[in-house]
């Protein structure tokens, strides 16, 4: 008769084997827990690393158009509020974050009934752009003076000078003329002109063409004014992004013959105390608009009524000691 083999239900092991087995299980469990904790910590670190904003390098900014949808006015108001980069904070700290600059004005800005709030949002949008472009000029100006203080210049330095002569339309490679042209536009003055030309961001030219300063063009891409004379062929120049408008405006004041007296007065201010006074410089922009002196008076009024000179000393917010030392 065959016996049926069955698996024993209870195996009897020596006590020492059981103790060793328990230790092995605990040790394996501890290793597993440590591995699991390390794995989770690594995931967290990777997430944090890629969530942090990259180091902002304003030297390599381009004017490429953004395909992202235009943000609403309410969204931008909340954006500045959440990042503590609102105008009140900027006036207090004298620092502004330029890493989150806006490419286009919100269409709904004209629907903000509170005039004070509409002005505030407009300034919060254009201020970082103006300061960023000013800093680029400031760094170029420092490099220029460094070159001027040398007896001999390298090939790279000479090439850099040649490029700047072309950029600032300097004739006969005049270093003294380049020094006068290569300079900043006071923040308060730039904001006042942008506000005046766009109706604090509500004009058709600003909304459709990112034109902050009402610059005319006879050959480039532009928007024809509705009230333009039938014989007139000029247009208001269009830009892909707001930053490009700021850059073109600065080049206009720094190179056009109409603003020779403006640049001359600015150079005198530099020689006296190195501080630019927008309330004095504004007097020399009477050729910017057809209204002449009335135009300059209106700009001065905008600067004073909105306390814009308080923004002339605002600098960029940066964690980089290298960039901080340069500016």
Q: pLDDT by residue for the chain (327 residues), tens digit each?
A: 433 333 344 444 444 444 454 444 455 555 555 555 555 555 544 443 334 333 334 444 556 554 444 555 565 555 555 555 689 999 999 999 988 789 999 999 999 999 999 999 999 999 999 999 999 999 999 999 999 999 899 999 999 999 999 999 999 999 999 999 999 999 999 999 999 999 999 999 999 999 999 898 877 788 888 766 666 778 899 999 999 999 999 999 999 999 999 999 999 999 998 789 999 999 999 999 999 999 999 999 999 999 999 999 999 887 555 555 666
What's the pLDDT at 233? 74
Whole-model pTM: value is: 0.76
Q: Provide the 10 A C-beta neighbour count for residue 139.
A: 15
d(CA 29, CA 35): 10
Inter-residue contact 109 to 73 (CB < 8 Å) = yes
pLDDT of residue 84: 55
Provide the CATH number for the domain formed by 71-326 in this structure.
1.10.530.10
What pLDDT, on the 0 to 100 scale, is given for residue 244? 96
- Residue 319's Cβ-side half-sphere holds a number of Cα atoms within 13 Å equal to 6
pLDDT for position 204: 94
Instruction: Tally Cβ neighbours within 10 Å of residue 131.
Output: 27
- Provide the 10 A C-beta neighbour count for residue 268: 11
- How many angstroms from the chain centroid is the CA of residue 230? 39
Strands 235-237 and 315-316: unpaired
The strand ranges marked E within 152-310 are 216-217, 222-223, 235-237
Report the SS3 class of residue 315: strand
- 11, 58, 125, 211, 308 from 240: Cα distances, Å: 81, 18, 16, 9, 27
pLDDT at residue number 198: 97
């Amino acid at each position: 008769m065959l016996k049926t083999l069955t698996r024993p239900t209870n195996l009897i092991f020596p006590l020492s084997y059981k103790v060793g087995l328990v230790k092995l299980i605990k040790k394996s469990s501890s290793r597993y827990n440590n591995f699991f904790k390390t794995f989770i910590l690594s995931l967290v670190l990777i997430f944090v690393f890629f969530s942090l904003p990259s180091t902002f390098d304003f030297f390599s900014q381009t004017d490429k158009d953004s395909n992202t949808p235009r943000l609403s006015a309410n969204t931008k108001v909340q954006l500045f509020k959440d990042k503590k980069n609102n105008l009140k904070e900027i006036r207090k700290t004298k620092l502004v974050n330029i890493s989150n600059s806006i490419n286009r004005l919100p269409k709904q800005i004209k629907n903000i009934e509170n005039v004070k709030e509409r002005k505030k949002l407009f300034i919060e949008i254009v201020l970082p752009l103006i300061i960023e472009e000013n800093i680029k000029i400031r760094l170029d100006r420092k490099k220029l003076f460094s070159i001027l203080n040398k007896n001999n210049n390298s090939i790279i330095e000479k090439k850099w000078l040649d490029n700047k002569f072309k950029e600032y339309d300097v004739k006969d490679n005049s270093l003294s003329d380049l020094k006068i042209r290569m300079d900043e536009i006071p923040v308060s003055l730039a904001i006042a002109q942008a506000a005046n030309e766009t109706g604090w961001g509500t004009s058709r030219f600003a909304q459709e063409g990112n034109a902050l300063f009402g610059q005319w063009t006879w050959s480039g891409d532009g928007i024809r004014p509705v009230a333009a004379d039938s014989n007139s062929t000029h247009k208001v120049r269009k830009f892909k992004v707001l930053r490009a408008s700021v850059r073109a405006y600065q080049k206009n004041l720094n190179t056009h013959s109409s603003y020779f007296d403006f640049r001359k007065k600015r150079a005198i201010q530099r020689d006296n105390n190195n501080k630019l006074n927008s309330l004095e410089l504004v007097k020399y922009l009477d050729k910017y608009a057809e209204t002449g002196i009335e135009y300059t008076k209106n700009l001065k009024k905008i600067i004073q009524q909105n306390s814009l000179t308080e923004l002339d000393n605002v600098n960029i917010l940066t964690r980089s000691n290298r960039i901080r030392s340069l500016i």
